[in-house]
Amino acid sequence: MTLLPLCLHALCLAVAPASGQDAPAEPAAAAPAFQVVAEPAEAEYNLELPLTFADAAAEGKLTVRLDEQANGDRLELTADRSQVTLSRVQGHQTQTLGEPVALQPGEGGAITLTLRRRVDCVSVLVGPRCVLSAWEDAAPGKLSWSATEGLLEPDDLYYQPYALPEFADDFMRAAEDPTGEWQVTAGTWDNTALIDSVDFAPRAANSFAFAAHAQPAAMATTGPAFWDDYRCGVAVRLLESGRAGLGFRVQDPANHYSLTLEFGAPEAPGRALLKLVKVTNGTEEVLASATRNLPIGQWYNLTAAVSEDRLEGYVDDVPVLAACDGAFGQGSVALLAAHCPTAYFDDAVVEQYKGFLDDFEANGHARWRTVAGQWKVESSKETKHMVAASREAALAVAGRDDWTDYEYRAAVATGKGAAGLCFYWKGPTDYFLWRLARGTQELVRVTDAGETVLDSAPLGPAAKGRLNVVVRAKGDYLSASVNGGEPIEAIVPAGQSGRIGLWADRGNHAAFDNVQVRFPVGYVPAVLPQTMVADAEMKEQFANPAEGWFSITDEAHQPQAVGMNWNKGEYFDPVDMSFPLSIASAAAGKVTVRMEADQTGGEGGYSLVFTKPENAKVLTVELSRSGESLQKAEHEVGETGTCQVRFGKRGTFVVVYLDDTLAISYRDTQTQPQTAAEASAIMDTSS
């Protein structure tokens, strides 16, 4: 999106005194009038402010008012040559938000500030670095500014409504447009066919990739400079030694972060080397690195996630690297390669990503809203932490109401009483809670009707001291673990969302530190390609969905089990199958779906058997394991005669949904961690 220049001009009239009259005394210089940028301003925007502290404006001052209401309540940014400050003005009382930050204008007194407004936060950047943040929810209101004459030229001020990061490229494009929306800054790039045969390439679901020729380096960028918190991913393939990956928060080729995969690195012989790197003025600084036993020549999905100062790197959706750094607070995305004849890229994507990290070192408890009791930040020898400081129960919340599917971590020192972590918090009587009380950890649902304990387990000796707690909430599945131990778990209605919180029972001075919220990369379901082609001879191979299934035959090439078909894919935990089941026919019928079964005959694992009596619209479904019945349910199918089925694993739970209604939820304490070979699927329609 192009930055919008804001042109503000004032009309000044000079009136000379009449002849014979004394000129009036020179009045004191009036404060510059406020110029309106937008009324009301967008909920999210960037306001770029290039300042020059020189000549008459050497000791000048800038004031920006945002979220200004009719009664004068507002947030305010003020900056002079020495410092920048954020404050809240309410009822004619001014409260500073955070500590003022020192400014050091460059040559000629020049410095650029960027005011960044988001729905839950307002931040100030000096150049590319975020130096000051306040967690204040946005309120529709006026945005205006005032500055000493000469400090800020009106034509240089830029107001940019913020659009969420959103981008995808599968590189399926015409030959005359090989780079598409990518701007090449180094090396040579072209689109290339992934399938050697020219005849077969057009029939594949995606037959092209973006190829970088990097001798010594190649770089191509996309996206605006104001993207800040996002997740970017791309599939990468190297056939020879070299390095390839992603650049993010890119300022220019010499200033950015990168996540790279390298083969043939001297420091990792025979292994793949993964790095998170900060590049400043062309100099690399490794923030985190790891080696993995990954064969060269394969495709790997690299994902970089960045929120605030937290950087994360994933390989095939598995978190591998993490670091904290605040050098670059926003920037575009790049594809990178170095020291390789050719690196291949495919399926690039950028999307919004919002994480949360608070160690209470810099901002106290400014990110938290007190709901009950009192809280304070205390210092120990090595760190600061948030402490419940009241005789009554204490609760503080942070984050956003729309947060969903997240991983919530914190260090908890429970003190002498009960303490816990709230999640999916919507209000004082609508939230979930992990709680440790009297040596037992619990998952609790809190509603208007009171508390319901969903699961519990004794911790034993592990209940003492500083505990590292991890709460995972995804879809219909909740789990919580302490110090990496066995989790407690629950199945709940899907679609939950809400804030996070810190909770302590009355009189308990529990302490909390290193609070982190992550939104993990989701598992990508395997999808059978269904590319429609004109050539009837090839349609069976490329477009027939039945080609994704096969039957196991004996030496005489006869099916070992008539009607039993295996899916060709390999699936890792969690397994989740979804399919429609039709009972429109009046005839009786039976369908069996199996998961984690033995391919030699479909034995073992879980079986889900659907039966329908003749002339009936009621399905009976039975879950069994290795021939043992575990749970049954009945479901009445609607007028369409079709039932949508979901069958999957959630930790130790096996769940079955029929038309979005939870029909079976069985906790299998005998379950074992899944492997790819154990997680195949069978569709048996022999009856």
Calpha distance 454→538 (Å, rounded): 54
Calpha distance 201→193 (Å, rounded): 7
Calpha distance 46→330 (Å, rounded): 11
* Kind and range of the H or E run holding 536: helix 536-542
The dihedrals phi and psi of 671, each to the nearest 5 degrees, come to -65, 150
And the tokens for 638? 């609607």
Which of 5, 76, 68, 3 has its CA nearest to residue 40?
68
Calpha distance 234→334 (Å, rounded): 10
Residue pair 490/443 in contact by the 8 Å Cβ criterion: yes
pLDDT of residue 570: 46
Calpha distance 269→274 (Å, rounded): 13
Superfamily of domain 536-684, CATH level 4: Exo-inulinase; domain 1 (2.60.120.560)
Calpha distance 593→577 (Å, rounded): 9
pLDDT of residue 558: 52
And the tokens for 323? 């670091």
pLDDT of residue 232: 96
Which of 432, 483, 427, 475 has its CA nearest to residue 455?
432
* Residue 346: exposure state from Cβ atoms within 10 A (0-12, 13-18, ≥19): buried
**Domain residue extents for the chain:** 4-16+28-161, 166-352, 358-518, 536-684
- Find the radius of gyration of the CA atoms of the chain: 30
The dihedrals phi and psi of 21, each to the nearest 5 degrees, come to -100, 145
* Kind and range of the H or E run holding 537: helix 536-542
| Letter string b/e over residues 66-103, b meaning 16 or more CB atoms within 10 A of that residue's CB | bbbeeeebbbbbbbbbeebbbbbbeeeeeeebbebeeb
| CATH among 1.50.10.10, 2.70.70.10, 2.60.120.560, 3.40.50.2300 for 4-16+28-161 | 2.60.120.560
CA-based end-to-end distance of the chain:
58
pLDDT of residue 469: 96
Which of 164, 304, 140, 278 has its CA nearest to residue 226?
164
Average pLDDT, the chain: 83
Residues in contact with 77: Cβ distance below 8 Å, sequence separation at least 6, in sequence order: 62, 63, 64, 66, 84, 85, 86, 113, 115, 124
User: What ranges make up the beta strands (E) of 187-317?
Assistant: 188-193, 208-222, 230-238, 242-252, 255-263, 272-280, 283-292, 299-307, 310-315
pLDDT of residue 671: 56
pLDDT in tens, 604-625: 688 889 998 887 788 899 999 8
Which of 73, 64, 86 has its CA nearest to residue 135?
86
Placement of tokens 């800038």 in the chain: 62
CATH 3.40.50.1860 matches 166-352: no
Q: Which residues of the chain have pLDDT under 70?
A: 1-31, 194-206, 363-364, 462, 521-575, 597-604, 671-687
pLDDT in tens, 22-45: 445 444 456 689 999 999 999 999
Calpha distance 302→233 (Å, rounded): 6
pTM listed for this prediction = 0.73
pLDDT in tens, 349-363: 999 988 888 888 876
pLDDT of residue 549: 55
The dihedrals phi and psi of 201, each to the nearest 5 degrees, come to -55, -45
The residue type of 69 is Q
pLDDT of residue 5: 40
Looking at the DSSP bridge assignments, the partners of residue 243 are 262, 338
Which of 400, 375, 403 has its CA nearest to residue 512?
375
| Letter string b/e over residues 528-563, b meaning 16 or more CB atoms within 10 A of that residue's CB | eeeeeeeeeeeeeebbeeeebbeeeeeeeeeeeeee
Which of 367, 281, 280, 283 has its CA nearest to residue 326?
280
Which of 681, 677, 645, 686 has its CA nearest to residue 663?
645
The residue type of 92 is H
Calpha distance 5→25 (Å, rounded): 39
Q: Where are the alpha helices (DSSP H) in 174-303?
A: none
Calpha distance 667→653 (Å, rounded): 4
CATH number of this structure's domain 358-518: 2.60.120.560
